[in-house]
Structure 1
Amino acid sequence: MTRKTDQTHQATDGLVALLDAADRLPGAGELRARSYDLLGAEPGTSAVDVGCGAGRAVAELAGRGVQAVGVDASERMIAIAHGRWPDADFRVAQAYALPLAGASVDGYRADKVFHELAEPERALAEAGRVLAPGGRIVLVGQDWDTIVVDSADPSLTRTIVHARADLTIAPRAARRYRTLLLDAGFTDVTVEVHTGILNGPAALPLLTGLAEGACSTAAVTRGQADTWLEEQRARAAADRLFLALPMFMAAATAP
């Protein structure tokens, strides 16, 4: 294994750990279940989960009797998914070129994916290609500019949140879901907001990621990041931490 490959695997494994932690947060299971309901995930239907990660949603959809396919651009991620769910169907592919025939699935789901896409319109055109007429699409994700954190230094907090957002390809993609879906020709577009509230140590990995991201861009100094994180750790220990993370869920019907 080359050094570059090893670093890529380490980065992917780190992402899997973060995704696993997110899946364990309060309300995460209910949020996924709501996305399946909006998808119309019933026995005998079919669906593709784009950006499937380690495959949990694909396994849960299969548990509902759905013929589910998981797609991810990362070979390492797909290997992990295969290891966890050996009987499921996982494939390496980009959101812009899905390994599916036209009009071949009843549902398309993408959870925490579109903020990583530089060309969301292209991805939605591909979604429209693979969806059968009347099929359902569900997009789930956070708007990286709308993370709310209680802090003694609101100005520094705003700087940290926005600096971390700017590291993302499309940090405000979620607020565009409705417009993107309408412009792509989808109908019956709805948008829901489900806000997760975190008050304890479970929020610290996310807060650390925000601070480290801001520090990496020199938006804040190392000392400012450490001081901010120390305050958040103290808040968590004293049951005074408050983090609100709105998750946007858009659903629509294929023409």
Structure 2
Amino acid sequence: MSTLLTLLDALDDRPQAVALRELSYRNLGDTVVDVGCGGGRAVGELAARGVRAIDADPAMVSAAAARWPDGEFHVADAAALPLPDGSVTGYRADKVLHVLPDPALAVAEARRVLPPGGRAVLTGQDWDTIVIDSDDPVRTRRIVHTRADGMPHPRIARWYRNLLLDNGFTDVTVEVHTLVWTDAAVLPVLADLGGDGAWLAEQTARAAADRLFVAVPIFLAAGTNSGGSR
């Protein structure tokens, strides 16, 4: 758990990530469900707006609640939220759909808990599009693709728009924002990605020499519940 929180913090602490979270909060209204709360940062930032946070991992919810005591946290299945129909004004799912058994069910559930005109926001990375400068591009490409192929839905971010459209959302928009590292803060992320030995040593040396470069495109898709028949 501590390793996962460290990795999430490495992502969420970047100035670009802070700005991206603010974009994801736009027009969500005053009652928001944040599905897959992670370390709870977004819930803490949105607590004054009546946020409810849902996560299928009890240990993660426990850690998030300890970090952000002003937030409201619950354990639930993203495809079966413990909320009445149309009970929240906004729905947010950040860096979570790629690990769900069936992301489409989660997006259908988003529509159920939103009223007509409610807004859903999906954010996350496409795990095949991570960019890492390296003296060994072949091994780097293998590391990135191997990690992606080990996930249930590593390329789900490129499907966000269609997922929203297929589940009755309208006015769907998609933006891409890139998180960039040129310092050692990203080394835990690279180690977790699957790099070790000479490859990770090279990245560590690059960081020490101010020659490291890692870029992670983050996709942000949003749509409005059309209110039509399900």
TM-score normalised by structure 2 residue count: 0.94
Question: Is residue 74 of structure 2 the alignment partner of residue 103 of structure 1?
Answer: no
- Equivalent residue number for residue 219 of structure 1: none
Structure 2 counterpart SS, 1:180: helix
Deviations for 1:99-129, whole angstroms, at most 9, x for unmatched residues? 1000110100000011111211111111111
Query: How far off its partner does 1:13 sit?
Result: 2.8
1:115-161 CA distance string (max 9 Å, x none): 11121111111111100110000000000000011111111111111
| Residue matched to 1:187 | 170
Which aligned pairs between 1:243-254 and structure 2 lie closer than 5 A?
Answer: 243-254=214-225
1:229 aligns with 2:200: yes
Measure the CA separation in 2 of the matches of 1:54 and 1:208. Answer: 20
**Structural mapping, 1:90-169, within 5 Å:** 90-169=73-152
**Aligned residues with identical type, % of pairs:** 58
Asked if residue 47 in structure 1 is aligned to residue 18 in structure 2, the reply is no
The whole-number CA distance in structure 1 between the counterparts of 2:115 and 2:18 is: 27
Counterpart CA distance in 2 for 1:85 and 1:157 is 37
Q: CA deviation at 1:30?
A: 0.8
Deviations 1:161-189 (A, max 9, x none): 10011111110000000111111111000
Q: What is the distance in 1 between the residues matched to 2:14 and 2:20?
A: 10
Distance 2:50 2:143 in 1: 42
Distance across 1 between alignment mates of 2:145 and 2:157: 15
Q: Counterpart in 2 of 1:33?
A: 22
1:26 positional shift: 3.2
User: 1:70-118: per-residue Cα shift (whole Å, max 9, x none)?
Assistant: 1111111121222222232110101011010001101000000111112
Deviations 1:180-220 (A, max 9, x none): 111111100000000111111012111111224xxxxxxxx
How much has 1:67 moved relative to structure 2? Answer: 1.3
Number of residues paired by the alignment? 226
8 Å contact kept, 2:10–2:189? no
Which runs of no fewer than 5 residues in structure 2 stay unpaired? Answer: none
RMSD: 1.2
Residue of structure 1 aligned with 2:56, choices 54, 69, 73: 73
**Residue type matched to 1:254 in 2?**
N
2:220 counterpart letter in structure 1: M
Q: Secondary structure at the match of 1:108?
A: strand
Question: In structure 2, what residue type is equivalent to 1:23?
Answer: D
Offset of residue 226 of structure 1 = 0.9
Aligned to 1:240: 211
Q: Distance in 2 between matches of 1:26 and 1:242?
A: 16
CA distance in 1, matches of 2:210, 2:156: 32
